[in-house]
Structure 1
Amino acid sequence: MKACNGVRTRVWKFPAVYKMTPRETMYLLGFHLSPMGIVVSLMIGFLLIFMRLKSKKYNLPPGPWPFPIVGNLPLIVKEPNCLIGFTKLRIKYGPIYILHVGIQTVVMVNNVDLAIEALVKKQVDFAGRPSIPSFNRNSEGRMNVSNENFNHRWHMRRKVAFKALKSALSGPSLTEKITLSIDQALGYMSKLKGPFDPHKYIDLILYNLIADICHGTRYEFDDPDFTKMVDFNNSFQELFGNGFISDFVPWMRIFELSAIRKIEAYFKMLRTDAQASIDQHRETFDPNNPRDFTDYLLLAKYKAQEEGNTELLNELTDVHLRQTMLNVITGQKNMKAEMSVNFPYCTAVIREVMRMYPVVPFGIPRATICDTTLGGYDIPKGTQVVFNLWDLHHDPQKWDNPSDFNPERFLDGSGKLAGKPTSFLPFMAGRRVCLGETFSKPEMLIIVVSVFQKFNISSPPGEIPPVDGLISTAGYRSPPYNILLEERY
């Protein structure tokens, strides 16, 4: 003890050299971490260092700096409508920007010039599919044409699927199938008195076309299997939302188990039904008389066996056959293609609806299969690329008054159907363009024309049809609404 200015103080003496342990250092810095906390901190640090080095190696598109672990996910999920979040990012960072969503790197493309560069001019570079766990599980390990990555196996499978679909959609029997599906639904609708929501009746037409073309079966309006599919389809977007967070941040799966299990149970039911159809068709299969899409898939396998094509046979397993059936979008034969010429205004209305409300506003994600460039920026191999079709279809630089519903924009001065605008990509483009595009567009026209030829349609007095439906990365779903019908003949 000694006095200092009359105050007695104690002098503490420390050893000349004192080496602190890592835990003591954490205490000194104010971070009392458990061993697990230290591991997590190191992982975050390594991730940030890796991202920093990667950004220096590549000239990447601009984008927001990511949060640890979750990346830019909070910027997306905080908005009730994902379009609002993506629009804010586009305004801030431009027509192409990069997001780090958990463990995934995603490039968002928001104008048609960049979309054409990727999907057409560099279509092979951008022809891959990202590996998304929920997609992989429901496609039995990426066994369907939509989810398979771009490779030789995908080429073989797509070729088989396209040829079988084209064969199933040709011939006089298809006209009868389409007519039966439409007439059945219109018959139910003509019996209704007063306002009603037409969604389920339209679904009946579409589901019956799919079932008849694929399996040779049909549903009645009160069929429990039909009701089950419609109910799930209506709830799918609520379950899936803007995608499962656990696809990007795996440890979040525990919080999404309920929705994941419901969706997986539904796809399991579809696989079971598809396999049952394959087994039934195999028992009565006649290579000289194929009846539907399932028979044409079996015919492809039959011919591969006859030719001794073991490579193709290895790809035509029952898993591939049932996944191809689940992947099919119904179509229409070529003899009806001239309808777009005979009904130009109706065709223009359909196009304007698809422009304003694309069924899948962000398409199905692509992935780069090699290091490439887009818009002057480097896009590394394996990067997930998302095309914002909503922005493409509402770009004021490409469309006059894009928020206005104006079918005339698709007609020329004489009222005939004009060429398709370059910024109109409802089915995407390039190597992975929608398999059923050629067939589904004429079929939509037939359905719309048939309905309007039979009925005058109006809204109930005092009701204004809503226009803003549910928009998510899973798709667009129109809101419920009621109509009144008056038979024209």
Structure 2
Amino acid sequence: MDETKLHPFIFPVLISLLLLWLVTKRVSGNKNLPPSPRKLPILGNLHQLGFLPHRNLQSLAVKHGPFMLLHFGSVPVLIASTADAARDALKTHDLTFASRPQLFRAVKKFIRDGRNVGFAPYGEYWRQMRGISVIHLLSSKRVQSFRFIREEETTAFMQRIRESSGPVDFSSMVSEFTNDVICRSTFGRKYSDSENGKKVMVLLRESMELLGTVCIGDFIPWLSWVSRVNGFDKRLDRVAKELDEFLEGVIQEHVETPKRQQGQNGESFVDVLLDIHNDKAAEISIDRESIKSLLVDILGAGTDTLTTLLIWAMAELLRHPLVMEQLQNEVREVVKDKQDMSDNELEKMHYLKAVIKETFRCHPPVPLLIPRIASSDVKIKGYDIPAGTMLLTNAWAIGKDPASWDEPDKFEPGRFLNSSIDYKGLDFELIPFGAGRRGCPGIAFSAATVEFVLANLVWKFNWELPDGRKDVDMTETPAATLHKALPLLALANQYS
């Protein structure tokens, strides 16, 4: 075709593109979007996330407001950084933001395209999976039935501390403890006493790190090659494959060995899932991949968040000897000379609950709550939020907001003694488990475990820092959960 004959076609196309650009600009210009920091071409605001996104996003919110609009590549992201902003998004417009974005490759790999409770799109499948998890593992009745597991594993934990010589590696010990509690509750047995089980603890830690890594290809698809070059994809494939092999082995073990021969006290969560899977007449249908996704959900969320919270709690107690002393006095006064601790006694430990709440405020295990996505256009606080906008709630920034907290940088459990604020999703000043219909259903399980083991730790031992140290390194390291960068070492002297 002669080059001159192209001109009649090119001119109308250029005019059409110009008109489309003008219309798009006019439409977006009519919208009242939230304030935004300056963005770069292609990257948007990804470069501003930094090493610790929860801290950098808080700094940006101080300049741009409680609601601000960022762009991760081409993906619009609404950041909520105060209790009022979180209430508007997670309560007033809960249904609009009830679903999850389906763009993270790590989630797709570990959770099999969001087939668990945490990342499943909002709908009937999610309701069924949440119902299974709540009824058979996380309900108050089931949590109470697991009391014997908490007691036995806490006793074993205390014994390991007694047998230690020199400083205790508290981080390692509490990780083993939470892993054993979760595995016994979920699988009917613990795996930490085997090499395979210890390997899984490492895999879970790696999976949380990968889930918390900002992958540029998730937001700019044509830059996906970066993850292949920097080794992210290779590591992701390895961890996912090894974790899948472990879960497949666990499931097969339960298929081949009748429950009555496994020495279990009651039915494990895996057995419940297999019963549902095998019951062709059941109203709920669940396949093997969904079973694995739910198990990853329970293992990852349960083990990592419990471990992280206990480590931060003990770190703060070691940094604040007067707080430690007040907590020990309360626990020892309530328990007195008894050999065991009952739930009734735990209910009387108000300062214990205050310490846990203050730890949640200062160190929420998941500082940026799992993202949600707007299913339709919505107006919040006068701002126009387009459908497809991702919502990130900065729970860490909310806990540090001076509008909600006096001296927010100070660790002061006493602030909760005369306060009705709780962490169960109704008080938006403190939402470590999220809120609304996508709030974490594991609150009762976590609270029962944390209260029982922390009370025992301060009841049975006097704690101090080793080598005459006066403070604890509180450096954070990035992951899906907020880890302490360095292991917590402490001296434990048995209390008599």
Fold agreement, TM-score > 0.5: yes
- Contact 1:106–1:383 at 8 Å: present in 2 too? yes
What residue number does 2:130 align with?
158
1:55 aligns with 2:28: yes
Cα distance in structure 2, aligned partners of 1:131 and 1:172: 35
2:42 to 55, 69, 74: 69
Superposition map of 1:198-277 within 5 A: 198-220=170-192, 223-234=194-205, 242-257=213-228, 258-277=231-250
RMSD: 3.1
What residue number does 1:6 align with?
none
What residue number does 1:34 align with?
none
Shift of 1:95: 1.0
Cα distance in structure 2, aligned partners of 1:214 and 1:45: 59
Alpha carbons of 1:399 and 1:338: their partners in 2 closer, same or farther (altered >3 Å)?
farther
Cα distance in structure 1, aligned partners of 2:430 and 2:458: 25
| Unaligned ranges ≥5, structure 2 | 8-16, 307-340
User: 1 or 2 for the larger relative contact order (CA 8 Å, sep ≥6)?
Assistant: 2
- 1:411-436 alpha-carbon deviations (Å, 9 max, x no partner): 02xxxx74425401111100011121
The one-letter code matched in structure 2 to 1:446 is: F
SS of structure 2 residue aligned to 1:483? strand
- Contact 1:168–1:213 at 8 Å: present in 2 too? no
Cα distance in structure 2, aligned partners of 1:473 and 1:373: 32
What residue number does 1:326 align with?
296
- 1:2-42 alpha-carbon deviations (Å, 9 max, x no partner): xxxxxxxxxxxxxxxxx9x99xxxxxxxxxxxxxxxxxxxx
- 1:111-155 alpha-carbon deviations (Å, 9 max, x no partner): 111111211222111111011232122211221111111112211
Cα distance in structure 2, aligned partners of 1:84 and 1:422: 19
After superposing the two structures, state which structure 1 stretch, 356-365 or 49-58, moved more: 49-58
Alpha carbons of 1:488 and 1:105: their partners in 2 closer, same or farther (altered >3 Å)?
same
Cα distance in structure 2, aligned partners of 1:180 and 1:46: 71
1:124 aligns with 2:100: no
Q: Which has the higher helix share?
A: 2
- Contact 1:129–1:365 at 8 Å: present in 2 too? yes
Shift of 1:324: 0.9
Alpha carbons of 1:68 and 1:166: their partners in 2 closer, same or farther (altered >3 Å)?
closer
The one-letter code matched in structure 1 to 2:388 is: G
Superposition map of 1:58-457 within 5 A: 58-77=31-50, 80-134=51-105, 135-166=107-138, 170=142, 174-220=146-192, 223-234=194-205, 242-257=213-228, 258-284=231-257, 291-302=267-278, 305-307=280-282, 309=283, 312-313=284-285, 316-328=286-298, 329-330=301-302, 340-412=346-418, 418-420=420-422, 422-457=428-463
Cα distance in structure 2, aligned partners of 1:235 and 1:66: 31
Structure number with larger C-alpha Rg: 1
What residue number does 2:480 align with?
474
Shift of 1:163: 1.4
The one-letter code matched in structure 1 to 2:458 is: F
Alpha carbons of 1:113 and 1:155: their partners in 2 closer, same or farther (altered >3 Å)?
same
Cα distance in structure 2, aligned partners of 1:172 and 1:60: 48
Alpha carbons of 1:118 and 1:70: their partners in 2 closer, same or farther (altered >3 Å)?
same
Aligned residues: 433
What residue number does 2:337 align with?
none
Alpha carbons of 1:464 and 1:125: their partners in 2 closer, same or farther (altered >3 Å)?
same
| Unaligned ranges ≥5, structure 1 | 1-18, 23-43
1:485 aligns with 2:486: no
Alpha carbons of 1:167 and 1:240: their partners in 2 closer, same or farther (altered >3 Å)?
closer
Shift of 1:200: 0.9
Shift of 1:172: 7.4
Percent sequence identity is: 26
